């Protein structure tokens, strides 16, 4: 007797796709079998003509963002993770910030406290290091399941960056403790100088945001931190690659057997800097900025060839008011766009429907690789028996036009408004419990668990 039986579906994992039935017992996938068998189950879902994927794993999100103790995003952990579930996402990794001069362990515990009991799906945390104090807490953080540490090479005007000397020391320490590092890579001096120059020249329009953070700033910073990673032996994951040059460096580094991986976001594949010249252009500000069509094309190629390992969203949800209603100069607009609910249908339509990647390739980019890289596989990111029954049942033929009102964010805008897609997630299941079904949230909204993560286990 199963708790839940999903029958007649086409199961898709990173290896392939096949017709089968999937039985769930006590939150785990307990059997996968083909053909007709008389079995009983408390609940049966007929998934004929539908696809069954492992739940999406988005390893770079920012819910319930705070500034000076106040929530500045329009989502909370609770509303954000529900929107994520509607998009087929069953695991997220958010960030705990070390405040300058304060303990990162405290930052982690505070962030965990605000998420526990509030999340609809399973979650974990990275820790962002913003100074070198408390390096000795890294072993304790790793013991508590935080194996990945973010650093910034820029934002010195917000006190977030580490200097080159600090980076080397930080990399050595993380390496020694068998963790790994995630880099936000932009050359600080370039970004800062261009930004100040544009401010001085009263260049305020959204497009100048892109001019203030040129391609070369990303390329140079990636190249530099790759050198530090090579010399210290740490595994380096490059966050949100936005340029052709960044992707090219990742390809070269992999050829040279550097311990390196990289991610990009749906917006760098689907949008370009033209989005800054529309009346709502200010809403599309994020860092790194949107680029050119040649970058979109190159990043698509790098996704296809496996150079880019994962697609994540860097989701941040802000209201028009928070972004200044189009009245602020670019450098005062809060950066970040929402993306978590539309990632699966957009990437499916844009890359699978156009035959650029296969269905198993889609699962690999959005679920299996992120789970492997961040120490969650095979409980997450697989359809193996004995693992968490986190699933999304996807209808590949339903057509939708994306508008803010079909989504579940607390905002009246979306960067993909009027994009038409074929294929949409119908049912999302977390550890055997149906969370979303045909557009309704039917599950518990606060039973997501914190996931202690293992050491990196990704190809080396
Ligand atoms: Zn981010």
Write down the pLDDT at residue 458: 65
Phi first, then psi, for residue 380 (nearest 5°) are: -110, 155
Write down the pLDDT at residue 379: 97
Answer for the pair 389, 420: CB distance below 8 angstroms, yes or no. no
What architecture is the 2-53+384-441 domain classified under in CATH?
Roll (2.30)
For 218-228, write each residue's pLDDT tens digit. 999 999 999 99
For 199-239, write each residue's pLDDT tens digit. 999 999 999 999 999 999 999 999 999 999 999 999 999 99
- CATH 2.30.40.10: which residues of the chain? 2-53+384-441
State how far the Cα of 418 lies from the Cα of 403, in Å rounded to an integer.
Answer: 6
Mean pLDDT (the chain, rounded): 96
State how far the Cα of 219 lies from the Cα of 228, in Å rounded to an integer.
Answer: 15
- Burial (CB count <10 Å: 0-12, 13-18, 19+), residue 72: middle
- pLDDT-derived band at 46 (thresholds 50, 70, 90) equals very high
What architecture is the 55-373 domain classified under in CATH?
Alpha-Beta Barrel (3.20)
The neighbouring-strand residues paired with 122 are 91
Q: How far is the CA of 314 from the centre of ligand 1 (A)?
A: 5
State how far the Cα of 277 lies from the Cα of 291, in Å rounded to an integer.
Answer: 13
| pLDDT score of 413 more than 90 | yes
Write down the pLDDT at residue 270: 98
Average pLDDT over residues 254-273: 97
- pLDDT-derived band at 418 (thresholds 50, 70, 90) equals very high
Q: How far is the CA of 135 from the centre of ligand 1 (A)?
A: 22
Q: How far is the CA of 352 from the centre of ligand 1 (A)?
A: 26
For 132-182, write each residue's pLDDT tens digit. 999 999 999 999 999 999 999 999 988 899 999 999 999 999 999 999 999
Q: How far is the CA of 85 from the centre of ligand 1 (A)?
A: 20
Percent of the chain clearing pLDDT 90 (strictly above): 93
Q: How far is the CA of 60 from the centre of ligand 1 (A)?
A: 6
Q: How far is the CA of 255 from the centre of ligand 1 (A)?
A: 27
- CATH 3.20.20.140: which residues of the chain? 55-373
For 349-397, write each residue's pLDDT tens digit. 999 999 999 999 999 999 999 999 999 999 999 999 999 999 999 999 9
Q: How far is the CA of 10 from the centre of ligand 1 (A)?
A: 34
Q: How far is the CA of 176 from the centre of ligand 1 (A)?
A: 25
């Amino acid at each position: 007797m199963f708790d839940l039986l999903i029958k007649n579906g086409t199961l898709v994992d990173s290896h392939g796709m096949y017709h089968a039935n999937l039985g769930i017992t006590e939150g785990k996938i307990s059997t996968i079998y083909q053909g007709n068998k008389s079995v009983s189950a408390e609940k049966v879902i007929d998934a004929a003509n539908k696809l069954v994927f492992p739940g999406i794993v988005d390893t770079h999100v920012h819910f319930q963002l705070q500034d000076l103790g106040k929530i500045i995003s329009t989502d909370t952990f609770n509303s954000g993770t529900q929107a994520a579930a509607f998009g087929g996402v069953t695991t997220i990794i958010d960030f705990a910030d070390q405040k300058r001069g304060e303990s990162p362990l405290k930052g982690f515990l505070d962030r965990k406290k605000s998420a526990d009991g509030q999340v609809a799906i399973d979650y974990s945390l990275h820790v962002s290091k913003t100074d070198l104090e408390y390096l000795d807490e890294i072993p304790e953080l790793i013991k508590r399941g935080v194996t990945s540490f973010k650093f910034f090479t820029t934002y010195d005007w917000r006190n977030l960056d580490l200097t080159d000397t600090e980076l080397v020391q930080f990399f050595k320490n993380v390496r020694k403790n068998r963790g790994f590092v995630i880099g936000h890579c932009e050359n600080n001096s370039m970004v800062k100088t261009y930004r100040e120059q544009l401010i001085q020249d009263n260049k305020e329009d959204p497009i100048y945001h892109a001019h203030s953070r040129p391609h070369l700033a990303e390329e140079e910073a990636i190249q530099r931190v790759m050198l530090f990673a090579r010399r210290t032996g740490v595994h380096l994951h490059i966050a949100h690659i936005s340029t052709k040059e960044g992707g090219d460096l990742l390809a070269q580094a992999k050829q040279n057997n550097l311990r390196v991986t990289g991610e990009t976001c749906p917006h760098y594949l689907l949008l370009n800097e033209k989005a800054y010249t529309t009346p709502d252009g200010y809403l599309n500000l994020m860092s790194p900025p949107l680029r050119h069509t040649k970058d979109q094309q190159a990043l698509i190629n790098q996704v296809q060839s496996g150079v880019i390992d994962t697609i994540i969203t860097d989701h941040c949800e802000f209201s028009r008011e928070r972004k200044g209603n189009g009245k602020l100069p670019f450098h005062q607009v809060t950066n970040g766009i929402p993306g978590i609910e539309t990632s699966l249908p957009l990437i499916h339509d844009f890359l699978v429907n156009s035959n650029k990647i296969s269905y198993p390739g889609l699962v690999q980019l959005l679920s299996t690789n992120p789970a492997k890289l961040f120490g969650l596989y095979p409980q997450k990111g697989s359809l193996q028996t004995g693992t968490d029954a986190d699933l999304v049942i996807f209808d590949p033929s339903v057509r939708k036009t994306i508008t803010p009102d079909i989504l579940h964010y607390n905002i009246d805008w979306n960067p993909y408004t009027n994009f038409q897609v074929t294929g949409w997630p119908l049912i999302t299941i977390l550890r055997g419990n149906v969370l979303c079904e045909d557009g309704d949230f039917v599950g518990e909204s606060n039973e997501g668990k914190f996931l202690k993560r293992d050491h990196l286990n990704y190809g080396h």
